[in-house]
A and B are shown apart, each in its own frame.
Chain A
Amino acid sequence: MSTINFAAREINFKIVYYGPGMSGKTTNLKWVFQQIPQNRKGEMVSLATEDERTLFFDFLPVDLGEVKGFKTRFHLYTVPGQVFYNASRKLILRGVDGIVFVADSAPNRLRANAESMRNLRENLAEYGIKLEDIPIVLQANKRDTPDALPVEMIQAVIDPERRFPIFEAVATTGMGVFETLKAVSREVLSRVASS
């Protein structure tokens, strides 16, 4: 649930980028950090290994501005995608308001995408949340890989019932990055407004 600080007149939302290792979660956040104006962002914090794999999380606060007298802020997090970091992944999901699932379009990552989605479902279940309880947006990243799989095939594996919107992206060039973030933010906002 979002955190509201009436005294400081702030509303904060937590959005988590999930997905298999190397799918481009951190790259999404880096792009957002590079592109948005200085006065709309805080510091980006990355807890990563020497070789730039996420170890605990990346964090980026984004200021949307003031709405009805409330400063509205999105806290963006990425999880470590590598399978053996599951304990950390679970911790990052605490208090999540919305999820971006970043899938990898490379054929040899199809199974990793599916396993990561199953892992997301299991970890949310530990907090008593079902996938359909929370705003989720899918991103098929790395569309620039020469043998990228058709989006439908990726979707068939991570979301066979086609419940969630899916966006194509090339996070390294920024294609689809803002679209994805905007979509999940909208869903988060409409969810709190109707609760």
Chain B
Amino acid sequence: MVEPAVALFGEAYERAARVLEELLRESGARYTLLLDRKGFVLVHKEALWAPKPPALDSLATLIAGNAAATQALARMLGEPRFNELLHQGSAHGLYVEEVGELALLVVIFDSSAPVGRVKLYGKRAAQVLESITQEAVVNPGTLGIDSEYRDGANALLDELFGN
């Protein structure tokens, strides 16, 4: 309706997952995520040594909101875009890079990962991910949501919200 959907599956999903894993290894970061611009998580990877991540749903929503606001600011200042977004505290950092028009790459790291390395490998990964997400844009008509799915979902709505 509003914009095309990115639907990662099969081989494209595997490729994106590999890119995120490699990025974790190369940068030394804790978590990497690929989000769509609406704040839905498409793929995420965690380093084996990393502690349990915070709620990814909320994280993704805030990052997408933040990125959207940053972009709106750029336009108001006459810039086509501000490319990257970096937040750094004393122990943790958050790096966000645009992946074309449709997605965002997120890298969450701690003080054991040098920022320079996160940015360098982050930018490289974002380029590869851009072509993968472009191929994964689908026409909603081909998604296979049918009336059987709808009826099943409606039954669950009754169950959760009452008749």
Contacts and interface: CB of A to CB of B under 8 A. Distances in A.
A182 B8 CA distance: 29
Interface string A55-77: 01101011011011010100100
Interface string A165-195: 0000000000000110110011001111111
B147 A42 contact: no
Contact of A6 (B2, B7, B61, B152): B7
Contacts of A186: 154, 157
A113 interface: no
A180 to B, nearest CB: 10
Most chain B beta-carbon contacts within 10 A, residue among A5, A8, A186: A5
Main SS at interface, chain A: mixed
> How many residues of B sit at the interface, in one of the four size bands?
35 or more
Most chain A beta-carbon contacts within 10 A, residue among B3, B10, B160: B160
Contacts, number: 139
A59 B61 contact: yes
Contact of B2 (A45, A68, A91, A96): A96
Given A6-B13, A64-B153, A129 B2 contact: yes
Most chain A beta-carbon contacts within 10 A, residue among B1, B6, B13, B161: B1
Contacts of A128: 2
Given A185-B157, A186-B157, A5 B2 contact: no
Given A87-B72, A94-B37, A182 B161 contact: yes
A75 B61 contact: yes
Contact of A178 (B4, B143, B149, B162): B162
Interface of B: 1-10, 13, 17, 36-43, 55, 57-58, 61-62, 65, 68-69, 72, 138, 140-141, 143, 145-150, 152-154, 156-162
